[in-house]
Amino acid sequence: MARPVYAVFRGCLADTPAMGTLRIRARAALGVDRRSGRIVGVATESDAAPAQLVREWTGEPVGDGDVETTDLGADQLLMPGLVDTHTHAPQFAFLGLGHDLPLMEWLETYTFRHESQFQDADLARTIYADAVRRMVRGGCTMAAYYGTIHLEACCILAETIRDAGQRAYVGKVCMDQNAPDYYSETTDESLQATEAFVHAVLGGQSAADDGVLVRPIITPRFAPTCSARCLHGLGRLARDHQLPIQSHLCESPAEVAFAKECFPDCVSYSAIYHAAGLFGPRTIMAHCVHMSDDDMRLVRECGVGVSHCPNSNFSLSSGVADVRRFVDQGIPVGLGTDVSGGYAPSLLDAMRMAAAASRTLVAARRDSAQPAAGSPLDAAELLFLATQGGARVMGMQASIGTLDEGKLFDALVVDFAAPGSPVPPPSVTPAVLRHQQADELEQAWRLRIEQFVFLADDRNIARVYVGGRLIHAL
Ligand SMILES: [Zn+2]
């Protein structure tokens, strides 16, 4: 028998349509068209049968046999998939190692050596399969990945992600200067391999089509390792092929100084990327910890998105980024794990580290002469950064990030009662239990989502869907 074309989920839906807004629909039904992978409708407090709901949403003559219904348990909810706006797939090869050095020394001592080994396609296959599996298991439905400078290994990464069913941007790293001899490329090699990679990944599809699962992203490693000709060439490629762009910006004081030394004519670090045509609404800049006023202005005016990578910023002693300042200025912000500058390939960890970073700023500025840091990030804001905020940084806010009609169904079934769950049950959490017993389900779920943000792990991610397809289940 053919599989039903539509899927309907009944139970609690939780998402964050805006920064600080946690939307709970405790008794809802959500329909998915498996052919398009998109949400066809959401109903709240409706007693209508699933097929009836799908008929109302689509206007099609849908029968009971055309709909597969999933009733979520009392301890389960459906939420948008988590979005990782910055990670390095080859650096999973030294996950959790080498956090004893600051950024520039860390690159020379560990990173370049590890990444140079990815000229070996077999190594790439092994490491990338494991990396993508870990990401998916942690509920990451879309990520922006860096590969290495090697074309073949980058194509293997794109294939591995596609096979796993995850949504992604994948970048071939470009570095034609200030790199060791054993891990460098000429300007022409860098630009030609990038163009070949773009064609190989797209295979004739449009980069502007949000339904294309894996798409290329233009990836200068960071300004100091790219010549002006390389950066300008990459800017042209991004414009010609309508591609997103990712790189690093203002991560550590030594790196900012080095960037300015490499490009003495540019007034700020951001101005280097801007001059090369690499700054726009499809640009993702990781870190943005040590931003000058000119950096802030260019990022804001060009619509650049910021990937906040707190674990990495703590682990490499880089500093603490001021997320509240970006948000207040209308700059899009999402979260990045930045493996393996960050040691955890988990957006749950990224939310907790972002919480710690914002509290660190509040505490550090309380008694200093600097302006106050504003309020610390709360659970709803952290969840927004990990979902719709990240989607916006990826230029995908109309396609993923919340559970709304018309969006792609990238979602998680979270199970609070999973075996070994680190989230305590309501029976030992009186505040939750009281609301449940009073039938105040929305209030009970608000508390449980706060617990999810601060306590959950892979064991609570029961099912992962991307584009309507189940790609992971416990
Ligand atoms: Zn990075």
Task: Express each pLDDT in 209-236 by its tens digit.
Answer: 999 999 999 999 999 999 999 999 999 9
- pLDDT tens across 417-473, in order? 999 999 999 999 999 999 999 999 999 999 999 999 999 999 999 999 999 999 999
CA of 338 to the centre of ligand 1 (A): 5
CA of 107 to the centre of ligand 1 (A): 10
- pLDDT tens across 316-349, in order? 999 999 999 999 999 999 999 999 999 999 999 9
Confidence at residue 339, expressed as pLDDT on a 0 to 100 scale: 97
CA of 220 to the centre of ligand 1 (A): 11
CA of 246 to the centre of ligand 1 (A): 10
Q: pLDDT band for position 45 (50/70/90)? A: confident
| The residue type at 134 | R
Work out the number of other CB atoms within 10 angstroms of the CB of residue 177.
17
CA of 214 to the centre of ligand 1 (A): 19
CA of 290 to the centre of ligand 1 (A): 15
Q: What is the dihedral of CA 104, 105, 107, 109, to 10 degrees?
A: 170
CA of 47 to the centre of ligand 1 (A): 48
Confidence at residue 195, expressed as pLDDT on a 0 to 100 scale: 98
82, 141 contact by CB (below 8 A): yes
CA of 22 to the centre of ligand 1 (A): 29
Confidence at residue 3, expressed as pLDDT on a 0 to 100 scale: 87
The token pair at 16 is 């964050």
Taking the model in full, what pTM does it have?
0.98
pLDDT average, residue stretch 273-295: 98
Confidence at residue 301, expressed as pLDDT on a 0 to 100 scale: 98
Q: pLDDT band for position 295 (50/70/90)? A: very high
| The residue type at 207 | A
CA of 87 to the centre of ligand 1 (A): 6
- CB crowding 9-29: b at 16 or more within 10 Å, else e: bbbbbbbbeebeebebbbebb
Q: pLDDT band for position 1 (50/70/90)? A: low
Confidence at residue 46, expressed as pLDDT on a 0 to 100 scale: 86
CA of 357 to the centre of ligand 1 (A): 18
pLDDT average, residue stretch 166-189: 97
CA of 196 to the centre of ligand 1 (A): 23
CA of 450 to the centre of ligand 1 (A): 28
- pLDDT tens across 130-148, in order? 999 999 999 999 999 999 9
CA of 292 to the centre of ligand 1 (A): 20
Answer whether residue 185 shows pLDDT above 90: yes
Q: Which residue in 355, 285, 365, 347 sits closest to 314, CA to CA?
A: 355
Confidence at residue 408, expressed as pLDDT on a 0 to 100 scale: 98
CA of 84 to the centre of ligand 1 (A): 12
Answer whether residue 67 shows pLDDT above 80: yes
Confidence at residue 125, expressed as pLDDT on a 0 to 100 scale: 98
Confidence at residue 49, expressed as pLDDT on a 0 to 100 scale: 96
- CB crowding 404-421: b at 16 or more within 10 Å, else e: beebbbbbbbbbbebeeb
- pLDDT tens across 343-390, in order? 999 999 999 999 999 999 999 888 788 777 788 999 999 999 999 999
CA of 142 to the centre of ligand 1 (A): 16
CA of 419 to the centre of ligand 1 (A): 34
The percent of residues in the chain predicted with pLDDT above 70, rounded, is: 100
Answer whether residue 2 shows pLDDT above 80: no
Answer whether residue 257 shows pLDDT above 90: yes
Q: pLDDT band for position 259 (50/70/90)? A: very high
